Amino acid sequence: MRATSRDRNRALRDDVRPDVEPCAGAGAPSGCREGAHPVSRAGRAGSVGAHALRGLATPRPVWREARLPLLALAVALVMVVAAGVGSVSIRPLEVAGILVRRLPLVGGRIVHADWPASHEVILLYVRLPRILLAAMVGASLSVAGAALQGLLRNPLADPYVVGVSAGAGLGATIAMVAGVPVSILGVGSVPILAFVTAVATMVVVYSIARVSGRLPTDTFLLAGVVVGSFLWALISFLLVISGDTLREAMMWLMGSLSNKGYAHVKMAFPYIAAGIAALVVLARDFNLISLGDEEARHLGLDPEEFKRIAILAASLVTAAAVSVGGIIGFVGLVVPHTMRLILGPDHRVLLPACVFAGAGFLVAADTLARVLVAPGEIPVGVITALAGGPFFLYLLRRRKRSGAL
């Protein structure tokens, strides 16, 4: 009997979908209390197995099977186009040729160099590291936003609600105001100190929110907001007394990828790759936790352990992204909701899709930031805010109409 129950829980866990009906409004299902947590249709009807069989019997459109590869291809095209845009224009085919030629062993045999040497220098040592960094930061913020929205069951959550951004901002401001002369492997003191203080802030918020060995999501959210507000007050004080470093600090706080090189990519990549991999692996568990702690526990998930791992991974990728890119807002809000509207709420598809879409979105935004007022430059955080502000208002209005607010 125990083995049968375990097998049944595993089957439920593998097939769970976040297709939930709210316990509110005139259309609420019978026996559902007002204000109760959403209950899965499949679980309430006892037909998860039938749902799976119907999914197997119904042929899926070809585009649904190819959606992630199509997103990856779209991101690659955006990066190639972005690499050719600037004060010196480089054709997309030329960009592709330069990149292919750099492949070890076979690159030189496949492609013959018929472009100016300056184009290769501009592409490989000026634009490419910035594009790679933009893709990494965009992927990090978007997947962290999707994870926190699923974990906190709050569609308005984003990677900065946990206070990590304020912690990174404090470290970066201290480094700029105090002029800390630290450099490790070609990376200056600003991103290093920003990463350290961001991780320290994550530890403080987690310690404050933890109650009797448990981590209530509401308490964690409030702790992040309070700690973040306190740190922003410290940042404001430092900016007042900063003197000549005020402009540099403001540019960083608004988000900027200028003057970044391969050293920044190497610094952030291990943390971003590990955090994103952990969140994608936990995709099924995000589907479970969206049903509520008790329902997830009945399906074999330890909610408290899952929260610890998910918060650690989301905070780690956010800290790494903010330390090298500054505070770039709305990426973690706009991209996950757009992908959720297009692809649905299943985190097994949503999280990988957010990785690709976030990368492409920020690469495109950063390209606009460096060409709109050339030879000057707009902080990329301004571009994402201009795109994210109207979307945020649309989201609020949509939830208000549905009665969720």
Q: Which two tokens stand for residue 176?
A: 């700029």
Kindly state the average pLDDT of the residues 252-261. 86
Could you report the per-residue pLDDT of 125-155, keeping only the tens digit for each?
999 999 999 999 999 999 999 999 998 887 7
Residues 6+ apart with CB under 8 A from 183: 189
DSSP 347-378: HHHHHHHHHHHHHHHHHHHHHHHHHTTTTS--
Could you report the per-residue pLDDT of 47-77, keeping only the tens digit for each?
333 333 334 344 444 445 678 888 999 999 9
Give the pLDDT score at 182.
63
**Which domains, ranges and CATH numbers included, belong to the chain?**
84-115 (no CATH), 129-401 (1.10.3470.10)
Judge if pTM exceeds 0.95: no
CB 313 within 8 A of CB 275: yes
CB 138 within 8 A of CB 359: yes
Question: Helix (H, G, I), strand (E, B), or coil: what is residue 21?
Answer: strand
How far is residue 270's CA from residue 346's CA, in Å, rounded to a whole number?
A: 27
Cα 241 to Cα 1, 36, 168, distances in angstroms: 69, 50, 19
pLDDT-based confidence at residue 38 (cuts at 50, 70, 90): very low
Burial of 171 (0-12, 13-18, 19+ CB in 10 A): buried
CB 380 within 8 A of CB 366: yes
pLDDT-based confidence at residue 399 (cuts at 50, 70, 90): low
> Strands (DSSP E) along 63-222, which ranges?
none
Give the pLDDT score at 32.
46
